[in-house]
Structure 1
Amino acid sequence: MARRHAVIGFGRLARALVPALRAAGEAVVVGRRRPGDGEAEPADAARAADWVWLTVPDDHIAATAASLPWRDGQLALHCSGATPLAALAPAPAAAGFHPLKLLAGDAGLAGAHVGIEADDAHRPALEALALGLGLVPLALPCPMDARARAAYHAAANLAASGVLAVLAEASALWQAAGLAGDQALPALLPLTRGALDTALARGLAGAVSGPVARGDVGVLARHLDALLAAGLEADLLFALGRRQLALAEAAGRLDEAQAAALHALLR
């Protein structure tokens, strides 16, 4: 018998999830407080479903789960990497299905890894669904403890928005060089993409480049001077430099004297 899905809430994630489920042959009804054509009230959508997806904001997951009319045999799911499964406690069974993808514009889900936090009874079906949606299933401990969950979510956030902080610093330096600010991202993003592509092919240590990887203390010192002249704090460059240095040392890129000089400058 085919599964019936209810997707409660219709934000950015649901707008990617619902068409992906339907394209995979799954029956889906959207539940919203003010339903449109072909949609339903959240409680009505949940009553008719086997799997109930709560794609509401993180802070509303627990309250939404508590408000729904659950019955035996249903599975509640959320897609929040930061929220424990305990938020779904009113449901008969609970699982997490967290796509590791930024959903901007019309971006779909296909190609991303998806963290699956589920018991042995539900994990195989969720992994099969992930594959049917074009996702790569990633098994998470079930249940994840609070420390592991925070580390997992922080890793994902650092890999996403953390990169934006680095690009913001790079854009500020670009403008400090007297260059047009609207040219910064178009000029710099190909460098970011190239570094990421190389990291995927060669690993992080194999992809590190620039003055730290070359042991060029003089260039790095001038970078620090440029930061100060631009009125920027040097903390980010120091922190990134130390981590690049660890990668360069792991790759065997530096001799002892180069490594010592860089450590002294970045201390």
Structure 2
Amino acid sequence: MSVHAVVGFGRLARALVPALREAGEAVVVGRREPGDGEFSSADAARQADWVWLTVPDDHIAATAAALPWRPGQLALHCSGATPLAALAPAPAAAGFHPLKLLAGDAGLAGAHVGIEADAAHAPALQALAMALDLQPLLLPSPMSPPARAAYHAAANLAASGVLAVLAEAQSLWTEAGLAGNALPALLPLTRGALATAEARGLAGAVSGPIARGDAGVLARHLDALVGAGLDADLLLALGRRQLALAEAAGRLDVAKVSALKALLAAR
């Protein structure tokens, strides 16, 4: 069993520390300003085999440079956006990126975790992921800058990107003159789409006028955006991608596909 030092105690650390302890791992926490009975970052690192830097992304490199490393230690960060080079002062480095939003008291269990590690450390990290009830996702190590940017952009699009779509929907709801907060009415639709995608895949979950080939309804949607003083760029971009999914599902004939493509290109 390895001894783990967790340096920094933000939202991620507050999920990681109890998960490690529940898995039977020994954990010490290092803080920049330790209280009574707590450890400084350096003192915590001295006790550990694995040192987790759960500080903000911009502080990872400086924190790694300030710690008293010794041979045999492994440094880890949990930032999908940060290259392992930020951990260069450590004897060895790895990434362990849980693909989960940690709002409130949400734990880590059930999520996928991106693991970026060399052949010497990848098996132990995969085993740890499974002990934490995470699904290991082995990444190239080291990741190229373009691959890392694409990986992180995909995760961000799947998380906060959905909020941009809901904000657009909420604006249209307000323009329609509907009373009350739109979000409680709209969120069940989002949850239903996600549940269907999980069960049937993305192509099998597409619904609405594009899935039906209803160009008339789609044209009225676009007119509503213009009437609301909103740009149609988001709906057009989403429409083109939904159409590609509907085509992949084989749900539209050639004539309907052509009509929808012409409408989405003309606006």
> By the TM > 0.5 criterion, same fold?
yes
Match of 2:245 in 1: 247
Correspondence for 2:212: 214
2:232 aligned partner, one-letter code: A
Provide the identity percentage.
84
Superposition map of 1:177-192 within 5 A: 177-182=176-181, 184-192=182-190
Count of residue pairs the alignment pairs up: 265
User: Displacement, 1:180?
Assistant: 2.6
In structure 2, how many angstroms separate the alpha carbons of the residues matched to 1:153 and 1:110?
20
Letter in 2 for 1:197: A
Code of the aligned partner of 2:157: L
Aligned-partner Cα distance in 1 for 2:29–2:218: 54
> What letter corresponds to residue 58 of structure 1 in structure 2?
D
Distance, in Å, in 1 between the alignment partners of 2:83 and 2:220 is 46
- Helix, strand or coil at the partner of 2:102: coil
Runs of 4+ in 1 over 2 A off after TM superposition: 36-39
Q: Is the counterpart of residue 139 in structure 1 residue 138 in structure 2?
A: yes
User: Is the partner of 2:239 in helix, strand or coil?
Assistant: helix
Alignment of 1:175 with 2:166, yes or no, is no
Query: Which blocks of at least 5 consecutive residues in structure 2 are unaligned?
Result: none
Partner of 2:24: 25
Q: Secondary structure at the match of 2:229?
A: coil
SS in 1 for 2:106: coil
Counterpart position of 2:235: 237
- Output the TM-score relative to the length of structure 1: 0.98
Cα distance in structure 2, aligned partners of 1:22 and 1:122 = 20
Give the secondary-structure state (helix, strand or coil) at the position aligned to 1:36. coil
| Inter-partner Cα distance in structure 2 for 1:36 and 1:179 | 52
- Distance, in Å, in 1 between the alignment partners of 2:106 and 2:54 is 17
After alignment, is 173-182 or 127-136 more displaced? 173-182
Counterpart in the other structure of 1:113: 112
Contact kept, 8 Å, 1:42 with 1:68, in 2: the verdict is: yes
Which one-letter code corresponds to 1:213 in the other structure? A
Aligned partners of 1:174 and 1:181 also within 8 Å: no
Report the Cα offset of residue 39 of structure 1. Answer: 2.3
Partner of 1:258: 256
SS of the residue corresponding to residue 190 of structure 1 reads helix
- Superposed CA deviations along residues 76-100 of structure 1, whole A, max 9, x for unmatched, are 0000000000000000000000000
Cα contact 1:29–1:38 (8 A) shared by 2: no
Instruction: Say whether 1:45 aligns with 2:44.
Output: yes
Aligned in 2, Cα 1:37/1:26: closer, same or farther, shift over 3 Å? farther
Q: How many Å apart are 1:107 and its aligned residue?
A: 0.4
Provide the rounded CA distance (Å) in 2 between the counterparts of 1:266 and 1:194: 26
What pairs up with 1:5-20 in 2 under 5 angstroms? 5-20=4-19
AA at the equivalent of 1:201: A
* Aligned pairs for 1:52-67 within 5 A: 52-67=51-66
